[in-house]
Chains A and B, each alone.
Chain A
């Protein structure tokens, strides 16, 4: 594929001094990712990132589930900006794709309809006495990592290459609907050929897999998942993607969005249980990682410090290919050395399926 159109979609990404907004759900499912972002930015790259304990959820999940009104979420977002302003920062970066979509949508709304911004300012002041400035720069944290991908490459310990064969590892990148499908201009590479994760993979020695259902939603879709009766629809969307990518034999899936990473990881387990089908080699699932975890592995971080023991699909096959050293016995030991609990062997990892996905040669 002549994938060059991403170059037409460029955006300004601040170089330093970020106000960091966390995700609501990431710390539960991929608990090391946000910590890894802070470590990489501060310790490896020497950047100033403020992790402010005063900030809250953007309430995006509630907004997309129709239980948080637009006026409310605009005021919550305004409060985040007010905290950033009060802390003396101008560059806002969010960990969550849905939050990023919320911020870009609200900023665009305020731009198009200034009266809504004025009303939000009034609401915020009445409720909290706070005032805010519009961020000078707004970026998703993957944008920030993308912006620094060459500096990370310069410190690379484990490139995205098979240590035995020297071949680039094949990565499926999944961007998440709210990154650039709302406003193509807000994402690196636009919405059709996003490059934010692809750029990282390529910069760190890997190869991007382009497969037919690359653009397809992971199936989270909020109501698809939050309404229990709709969950089959959510699984079906993920299944479509797995079936489409499997023939390319990807070594890993890297996700931009907290929800996507969770669903592409956990639905593999669900499908293995329901259908007896797995999509990776040897009857296993395809490891799903976040871009912070990918950056952390490349930089030589310990996979268990990155929280990768919390993944549903075991990441060891990927670690082995990259030549990452890890202690299997330490996998379920917490920071204090105590066992955090070891899960039962999952069917998606134990190669015992009756039927595995028929990978084309």
Chain B
């Protein structure tokens, strides 16, 4: 088969899709905006629930892509997609028989939730910052000391109508649990609190991890959202919340506040949706043709989707969709 497919986005879904298509003899051009493949995986330390190093998964994907012989074009942003190819930055048109959109998601900008003081107060971090610090091998407060009390806040930029993020980002709950355990590993004497409105442990092994966090790691889970954070006289952070299980307001000082940021639609979704057959769901993610039988297909026969471009997903789900999209592409190409 001498058909060519362009994959937009070289994250977990795009890489898996590329290597799978190559096993089917399809010519592949994998276009990635950043200078390296891997997408958000590059920034993660360990993956839930197995605590597998993210680098292991990423290296395996990279090896697969390299071995597959897929052509890779990094540092190239796709501006427009069409039924017969894409236009990249600079206006260059690249032709193909099919396009798979794996452009992923954006992280919620925690600065929008001003009341938590991210970017304003010291020692307010996001889960992404924590992953970075874990990768760098040093988690510490701004003054270099170890935190004695850490608070995690779930659903920052998820299920929050005030900031236009009505959807659940799904993976943040387990991320918060994982990082709470990692903090306890690093700082066994520290008290760790997770403030949540619901704990949604949807994946295999997640509920067990949540239980382990409580029973083995002694992480405290408090059902209530933090309303605001403020700096205290002694350089800590005062947080206010309501413990909705006991029905009482709560105020405590912590050394570190970690905002568990959600997933928002990719910034390219809007311009991709200018293409006929590519539609956006009300939440801004790309809407697949059919949520059951056609969840990797678009309204255009030659445009396919995989990964978090359509909804929040974990790494495994994104990779599976990469495979599913590849097989749907092959089916489409064979039928032409």
Contacts and interface: CB of A to CB of B under 8 A. Distances in A.
Nearest to A3: B120
A1 interface: yes
A211 B231 CA distance: 7
Given A193-B120, A212-B238, A5 B230 contact: no
Given A212-B231, A212-B232, A2 B120 contact: yes
B332 interface: no
B233 A192 contact: no
Given A193-B120, A212-B238, A247-B233, A5 B114 contact: yes
A193 B120 CA distance: 10
Interface string A210-222: 1111110000000
A190 B233 contact: no
Contacts of B111: 5
Contacts of B233: 211-212, 247-248, 360
Given A190-B114, A213-B230, A248-B233, A1 B121 contact: yes
Contacts of A190: 114
Nearest to B113: A192
B120 to A, nearest CB: 5
Interface string B221-245: 0000000101111000010000000
A210 B114 contact: no
B226 to A, nearest CB: 13
B115 interface: yes
Given A193-B120, A212-B238, A1 B231 contact: yes
A143 to B, nearest CB: 20
A210 B119 contact: no
Contacts of A1: 120-121, 231
A212 B227 CA distance: 13
Interface centre among B114, B228, B231, B232 (most CB of A within 10 A): B114
A247 to B, nearest CB: 4
Contacts of A210: 230-231
B114 A193 contact: yes
A212 B119 contact: no
A212 B120 contact: no
Given A5-B114, A190-B114, A192-B115, A214 B230 contact: yes
Contacts of A4: 120
Nearest to A191: B114
A214 B115 CA distance: 12
Contacts of A193: 114, 120
B114 A212 contact: no
Contacts of A360: 233
A297 to B, nearest CB: 27
A153 B161 CA distance: 42
Given A193-B114, A247-B233, A215 B120 contact: no
Interface in B208-259: 228, 230-233, 238
A193 B114 CA distance: 8
Interface in B82-121: 111, 114-115, 119-121
Contacts of B120: 1-5, 193
Nearest to A248: B233
A180 to B, nearest CB: 11
Contacts of A192: 114-115, 228
A215 to B, nearest CB: 6
Contacts of B231: 1, 210, 212
B251 to A, nearest CB: 9
A3 B121 CA distance: 9
Interface string A174-194: 000000000000000011110
Contact of B228 (A2, A211, A215, A248): A215
Contacts of A247: 233
Interface string A80-121: 000000000000000000000000000000000000000000
Nearest to B116: A192
Interface in A230-255: 247-248
Interface hub of B232, B233, B238 (most chain A Cβ within 10 A): B233
Nearest to A2: B120
A95 B261 CA distance: 40
Contacts of B114: 5, 190-193
B121 to A, nearest CB: 6
A10 to B, nearest CB: 15
Contacts of B230: 210-215
Interface in A1-55: 1-5
Interface of B: 111, 114-115, 119-121, 228, 230-233, 238
Give 10 closest A-B pairs by Cβ, nearest first.
Answer: A192-B114, A212-B238, A212-B230, A247-B233, A192-B115, A2-B120, A212-B232, A1-B120, A215-B228, A210-B231
28 contacts: A1-B120, A1-B121, A1-B231, A2-B120, A4-B120, A5-B111, A5-B119, A5-B120, A190-B114, A191-B114, A192-B114, A192-B115, A192-B228, A193-B114, A193-B120, A210-B230, A210-B231, A211-B233, A212-B230, A212-B231, A212-B232, A212-B238, A213-B230, A215-B115, A215-B230, A247-B233, A248-B233, A360-B233
Given A192-B228, A212-B230, 9 more contacts: A2-B120, A5-B114, A192-B115, A193-B114, A210-B231, A215-B115, A215-B230, A247-B233, A360-B233
